[in-house]
Structure 1
Amino acid sequence: MANSKRDLFLKRRLRVRNKLRKNNEGRVRLSVHRSNKNISVQLIDDVAGKTIASASSLEKDLGVVGKNNIDAASKVGAAIAERAKKANVTECYFDRGGFLFHGKVKALADAAREGGLKF
């Protein structure tokens, strides 16, 4: 039986998240979502079940509305690092979901690291 791309993606997302959750108990999760048109990221406290901060390419003040390229991803990464500092978050773990760690996802992670987040 052949699996669809969506089924494989969901399987990979759960596999990644469960492995990370085992090793990073009590730390904040930096969750990435990438669509065809936009990229967004959230800092999530799983213990409290709350979103601490978020950033997206849909925000007008970042100047990349509707764009989904490496430049937009790096601006979103820098924005989430700045907002994490304001929320007193310095360490988190990077949940890439089912997305592969290259291109836009890697650019976002590098920009967040340069902004001061440790993961």
Structure 2
Amino acid sequence: MIWASKINKVRTLALLLTFLGIGVMYFGFVWPGWMVFFLFLGILVIFSSVGLYFWIGILSLQAVQVECPKCGRMTKILGKVDQCPYCKVYLSLDPAHAPKDSTSSANAVSGSETESSESAT
């Protein structure tokens, strides 16, 4: 999918289900004898889309809102690990599930600078 966060992925799926339901209803014009069947089938798909929108809306209300450390925008986290929808960086509230970042290389660079400044004195 184009967007990264779980909320946006589910919303995109619900939107695709809406279009699929409308497309299924159009099959009734291709086979007029089956028009009522395709109408009800399309309505069921659209109702499932509405249910999915309702469910992700409830989850979105309960999601934890955090500030992305990379881009500084506010985003919501579903589950233990999620992605920022703007900059695609992985976010986690649990340190055990936090993705590895380049802080160790930054510490190595700052450590080598302090070692060289200590040896110079």
- Fold shared per TM-score above 0.5: no
Q: TM-score range by the shorter chain?
A: under 0.3
Q: Which has the higher helix share?
A: 2
Higher RCO structure (Cα 8 Å, ≥6 apart): 1
TM-score with structure 2 length normalisation? 0.24
Q: Which has the higher strand share?
A: 1
